[in-house]
Structure 1
């Protein structure tokens, strides 16, 4: 019997980038903007006097080129700068019940929202309202809630430092520390795990460190789709003939080879630069075992050399002077047998020893990791094993070496820096209270999962979303969707219509805001905002385009409007702050001393870097030492170990977070569909299926129906499905217990032939 060829599936042979990327940019411009002069906005993106990309958080180079954007950045801008509009007439023609049956792509593809909207339950339609009415309705509802801790204040990574600071200020004056945010679903494991190890929840490297690295290890990320501008940095490392080791369950073209659209030679000769010098396909969830294996091989080789009187492979001075906990880690590694490491990691002992050999042969090493590490039941501990490996040879706090978490949305790190956290420090709250004359609550609040649980259980009454599409991003839509519909109040501050807007509460308002590419005029003239990239660089962003509608307000102005309507006795000078964003930055500086001379330094092209103590071996831990941290169980009790298959969710190339630009996934050869399950060929055969069969993916009593099997270069025992479609397989309780990040990549599943 011949194996079926699934429709819309082909083998992609090209590199990442190249002519395919340029063609995709051209198609995005044509589809969203046509001949609009706004296409020139692409030339302002990531330039010193322009606006920051609303996509990923990869830093800008110091010397920008004539254009400095990637394919997905271009899609993000065309999606925002589109001339398509969602006017009030649109809602007169379409009920919410009808719109619910539209795809997520079709909802956002209608274009920009133009006016504040209020849901009318009697007609099942959104209707235009004035800003004054919208603010009054929200303020009245919030004042009627007896306990401020029954309100959830959500922040997406799109928000600027200024908007995020005002948002947390309003919520704390209102009386709560409930700050679910998008980092709770991606890099919260970084925010929890790194401080215990190095004293700060941020990466320690800068973009310039890659110029001095002798080895880059990429583990659990896919730059070709999720942070494409990183490809140019990896290309530069490869061109210096320095190794790049990849540890990833799936083979991703953006980690294998790259054709730089800004390189005339590569484009004209149709050549590409090899990226990965070695590619190790670890089993999903086997990263900790693999890293433990590398440490075990290193320690074994070191012991042999020391016994022969040779120089130690370990940086013993660094270990002795800068760290604590080495002996406990050494004992744990020595007591972990190779057979457990091999079985759990999916890699051979020889392959792991090869990684270790390259590691100890390299003077300066950077480890880059993404959500393939953080979105596990053991994500926090996995990150700590990466720092353990770096500590062994002193690869922390010196040029060309360190840890590099790859943040997702462009200012998700900045939001956290300026106060978006449910567990604020006493120092921060005291300084905030002093700066504004308020009394912030001290009780810890809700993260994203706890917020949805509170909504589900009826103990949360209201939700205010500063951007994002939380209901779709969150795991367990079976619980999350009804939770939103059970609220008294839902407020969505956004640029486009999305599915969370349609989960109508007793009172629902949608407030359209300016995009990052648009001009923001306030009382003192054109304003700029600031963002922090994944390497702690803070820089200015100034919108250049005319707003999509005269009725749009900035996120800052919307927050101030809600605050004034909710808190008639507010002591915060909201009007002054909104009239001149310099005053917001002055207050940020007053509360957060690391922002000293904020307005002066951020006006320097390229901005400034915030202090990261670990970058200079200043460990902001209680004992002022870096900490080796032991994970002795190697998560042997995880459900993933009991399952035949472990599923991870992945993003398609035509996608950014929950925004689906199109139905293609070019680098994986998928065209026009998202109902596929990537599986290893041997696993398909062993299970008695064929390529192209349609199956149901089952996780306990949860089912993702009718997925087409696609043979893919993925490790044995691992399968992958698209996010957010596969979120239905993950319960709200399925989290990393340390950070509460949903276990999007630790899902034990079985496959059943679809009925």
Structure 2
């Protein structure tokens, strides 16, 4: 590969994760952003009982007595340093940079400039952001919202970092205005999980605790998830499971360092020894082959039961707690093994060996992430995983169950708090009883529908509570133009990002406190709460002084806007001054939050009810866990084309890029690379280091991502991979998962073409 400055270099994938290199990389980044003393003090409060919750992923915390002094991973430490940086973006910065200038910079450069430190306003026709007073900014937003001819001409987007308290008052504001247009990042990640789990077991969340993984599970399957990069603290839990004898199976199109040897930086064996080999079996499934894999596993389990009746399936569980088994069994019996092998890229023997591992385990956990949820058949795939778990009674007992691993720190809690465009009537009824107004009942727009509405001129005000909407969403060109159609775009944010430059006719940037910072309201220190992937709710106390005296908390911003917009009949001022008032409202509206203040004060917080796990009760349409019949399909890829999946680099969290290296995949100095199978490279007549364009093939128009370097990599034949969000422009807005409407970012039909000049 070319070795010129500014171009990526490939050094080959690594076989181990973390170790000494991980420590030095972390401390170097933290020191550069925050300084050594401030950085170390901040990290020692991260994920501690009296500290703050990690602003990165939603992995669960150990029980209070089992937490280490350094209860964080490399990504979490970088997320904290990214937020706690000493760099500032203020009025003088914007005076030096026009919007046109900033649009010419990449996302990494924009976010590296530092924390937004004062409210900024882009006036109609202006070429740069100008300072504005807080009162004037909030009055401007309230005036624009009041002037709407229809409240549904407003869209309220939410990031997964938003606390429970902020999310609750945010959805309250939107519904008091009269709209359910509450898209959020769940629409783009685990919406498919929620849809499939709600249909089959009655709750849209996983049923597994951290202790199920560390202490009880005999077999852990990690499917479409890369814990080494996306959830590094999970590696410690997996190591604990391995040491007590659990088996781990990794299912992923790309071999990942996190599946290899884990060199735990907090143990002598990890620092000086070989580390722990995590995956006992690795299945290099084709992109979008997971549905066929689990259907094949279910077929193999059924065949084994027919050979030795009463020894494989849990008939008592199936008979007492499930329905639909006979229809599902007939579909597996009719499934052709050649079809399974074709779609998975795996031999029948590999599937049957895996089924034997399953039969040898009394308790099985299946973990997954966006490698499963962002395909057209994502919901059927996850339903098939539920089938797999139901066959052997692996729901409702220790060490067993489905575990969708959320990628953002409170994305699950935001949904619990009502951030959803189609909350059930029971929630809306409780909201009416608590606040004395009738919330709208018509379903609102999700993320994809909101982009379509903005594109079509149906939205006047777009309000984002955190996030990087333009970078995170599909069909980048369409999304950026859609945002520009709005009369006003408002972003509550900690740092400058791409979305702030894809503005409406008028725009506001409202700087907010980060998770790391102390939140003082009316002279009293506040705390917020979050919900992790395991449905644990716990408190988060910021510890740093705010980065600027002009920063306001998300709760303060939303409640101040509510008072400006509606007056104070609903108590907006009290909620903004004292977050206990919000938590009392949550107690009355949200199931499972009784005695909220008292229970969250307990070290480690409390777990929300999980009927399928706690009592094997399944609140589905039939009152039972549901076997489903799922057509075994895959994306059709024409000859000469590839199926592209998108991945994160090791130095990245969601759309935030901390650096331009991907240490685990051996990429240095850049991100515009495409990973190809060497046999496919021969067929396509490309060589390592060639500069190519990636062109997605859909009937509406050509989408071309330019100037990617070819990197040979052990991906399955017919598949390719590149980084998110650079490849988002290749994903058509209308290419979404059935039922969930999630963009199909993980399965894009492309061709690889010689690089062309823009034109």
State the TM-score, normalized to the length of structure 1.
0.97
Post-superposition, which runs of at least 4 consecutive aligned residues in structure 1 deviate over 4 A?
3-7, 640-643
Instruction: Find out whether 1:264 has 2:268 as its counterpart.
Output: yes
Deviations 1:653-689 (A, max 9, x none): 1111111111010000001100100111111122222
Corresponding residue to 1:185 among 171, 175, 188: 188
| Residues in 1 aligned to 2:533 and 2:425: alpha-carbon distance in whole angstroms | 25
| Residues in 2 aligned to 1:36 and 1:109: alpha-carbon distance in whole angstroms | 21
Distance 1:256 1:641, change over 3 A: farther
Distance 1:688 1:122, change over 3 A: closer
Report the Cα offset of residue 623 of structure 1.
Answer: 2.0
Q: Which residue matches 2:446?
A: 447
| Counterpart contact for 2:56–2:653, Cα < 8 Å | yes
- In the alignment of these two chains, the number of paired residues is 745
Q: Which residue matches 2:654?
A: 657
Deviations 1:419-442 (A, max 9, x none): 001111111001101101111000
Report the Cα offset of residue 693 of structure 1.
Answer: 1.7
Q: Which residue matches 1:579?
A: 577
What secondary structure sits across from 2:727 in the alignment? helix
| Counterpart contact for 2:114–2:495, Cα < 8 Å | yes
Instruction: Find out whether 1:672 has 2:676 as its counterpart.
Output: no
Distance 1:7 1:533, change over 3 A: closer
Q: Which residue matches 1:106?
A: 109
What secondary structure sits across from 2:515 in the alignment? coil
Report the Cα offset of residue 304 of structure 1.
Answer: 1.2
Corresponding residue to 1:594 among 592, 595, 605: 592
Report the Cα offset of residue 48 of structure 1.
Answer: 0.2
| Residues in 1 aligned to 2:523 and 2:618: alpha-carbon distance in whole angstroms | 42
| Counterpart contact for 1:194–1:201, Cα < 8 Å | yes
| Counterpart contact for 2:12–2:666, Cα < 8 Å | yes
| Residues in 2 aligned to 1:287 and 1:14: alpha-carbon distance in whole angstroms | 24
Q: Which residue matches 1:693?
A: 690
What secondary structure sits across from 1:677 in the alignment? strand
What secondary structure sits across from 1:516 in the alignment? coil
Q: Which residue matches 1:37?
A: 38
| Counterpart contact for 1:456–1:483, Cα < 8 Å | yes
Q: Which residue matches 2:729?
A: 728
| Residues in 1 aligned to 2:314 and 2:639: alpha-carbon distance in whole angstroms | 38
| Residues in 2 aligned to 1:448 and 1:140: alpha-carbon distance in whole angstroms | 25
Q: Which residue matches 2:239?
A: 235
| Counterpart contact for 1:640–1:747, Cα < 8 Å | no
Q: Which residue matches 2:744?
A: 743
What secondary structure sits across from 2:668 in the alignment? coil
Report the Cα offset of residue 642 of structure 1.
Answer: 6.9
Written as runs of structure 1 = structure 2, the 5 A alignment for 1:530-549 is 530-549=529-548
| Counterpart contact for 1:113–1:496, Cα < 8 Å | yes
Written as runs of structure 1 = structure 2, the 5 A alignment for 1:148-159 is 148-159=151-162
What secondary structure sits across from 1:163 in the alignment? helix
What secondary structure sits across from 1:321 in the alignment? helix
| Counterpart contact for 1:285–1:640, Cα < 8 Å | no
Report the Cα offset of residue 640 of structure 1.
Answer: 4.2
Q: Which residue matches 2:437?
A: 438
| Residues in 1 aligned to 2:748 and 2:240: alpha-carbon distance in whole angstroms | 36
What secondary structure sits across from 1:484 in the alignment? helix
Q: Which residue matches 1:491?
A: 490
Q: Which residue matches 1:171?
A: 174
| Counterpart contact for 1:33–1:39, Cα < 8 Å | no
Deviations 1:252-305 (A, max 9, x none): 001222110111232133x21000001010000111011111111111111111
| Counterpart contact for 1:364–1:401, Cα < 8 Å | yes
Deviations 1:524-563 (A, max 9, x none): 6000000000000000000000000011100000001222
Corresponding residue to 2:127 among 106, 124, 144: 124
| Counterpart contact for 2:15–2:256, Cα < 8 Å | no
Q: Which residue matches 2:712?
A: 711
Q: Which residue matches 2:427?
A: 428
Report the Cα offset of residue 121 of structure 1.
Answer: 4.3
What secondary structure sits across from 1:125 in the alignment? coil
| Residues in 2 aligned to 1:620 and 1:340: alpha-carbon distance in whole angstroms | 34
For structure 1, the residue ranges without an aligned partner over 5 or more in a row are: none
- Of the structure 1 ranges 43-52 and 741-750, higher mean CA displacement relative to structure 2 is found in 741-750
Corresponding residue to 2:680 among 683, 706, 710: 683
- Of the structure 1 ranges 726-735 and 13-22, higher mean CA displacement relative to structure 2 is found in 13-22
Q: Which residue matches 1:144?
A: 147
| Residues in 2 aligned to 1:7 and 1:38: alpha-carbon distance in whole angstroms | 30
Written as runs of structure 1 = structure 2, the 5 A alignment for 1:176-215 is 176-210=179-213, 211-215=215-219
| Residues in 2 aligned to 1:299 and 1:113: alpha-carbon distance in whole angstroms | 58
| Counterpart contact for 2:30–2:39, Cα < 8 Å | no
For structure 2, the residue ranges without an aligned partner over 5 or more in a row are: none
| Residues in 1 aligned to 2:488 and 2:580: alpha-carbon distance in whole angstroms | 32
| Counterpart contact for 1:47–1:68, Cα < 8 Å | yes
Q: Which residue matches 1:606?
A: 604
| Residues in 1 aligned to 2:125 and 2:739: alpha-carbon distance in whole angstroms | 44
What secondary structure sits across from 2:592 in the alignment? helix
Q: Which residue matches 2:363?
A: 364
What secondary structure sits across from 1:639 in the alignment? coil
Deviations 1:192-250 (A, max 9, x none): 11010100000011011111111001100000111100000111122223210111100
| Residues in 2 aligned to 1:693 and 1:392: alpha-carbon distance in whole angstroms | 48
Deviations 1:589-626 (A, max 9, x none): 01123101100000001000000111121101132100
| Residues in 1 aligned to 2:728 and 2:548: alpha-carbon distance in whole angstroms | 35
| Counterpart contact for 2:674–2:722, Cα < 8 Å | yes
Deviations 1:475-510 (A, max 9, x none): 001100011011011000000011111112112000
| Counterpart contact for 1:493–1:511, Cα < 8 Å | yes
Written as runs of structure 1 = structure 2, the 5 A alignment for 1:615-634 is 615-616=613-614, 617-632=616-631, 634=632
Q: Which residue matches 1:318?
A: 317
| Counterpart contact for 1:288–1:385, Cα < 8 Å | yes
Report the Cα offset of residue 87 of structure 1.
Answer: 1.5
What secondary structure sits across from 1:590 in the alignment? helix
Q: Which residue matches 2:254?
A: 250
| Counterpart contact for 1:438–1:571, Cα < 8 Å | no
What secondary structure sits across from 1:595 in the alignment? coil
State the TM-score, normalized to the length of structure 2.
0.96
Superposition RMSD on alpha carbons, in Å?
1.4
Report the Cα offset of residue 736 of structure 1.
Answer: 0.3
Q: Which residue matches 2:407?
A: 408
What secondary structure sits across from 2:129 in the alignment? strand
Report the Cα offset of residue 37 of structure 1.
Answer: 2.3
Report the Cα offset of residue 123 of structure 1.
Answer: 4.3
Q: Which residue matches 1:58?
A: 59
Q: Which residue matches 1:503?
A: 502
What secondary structure sits across from 1:748 in the alignment? strand
What secondary structure sits across from 2:302 in the alignment? helix
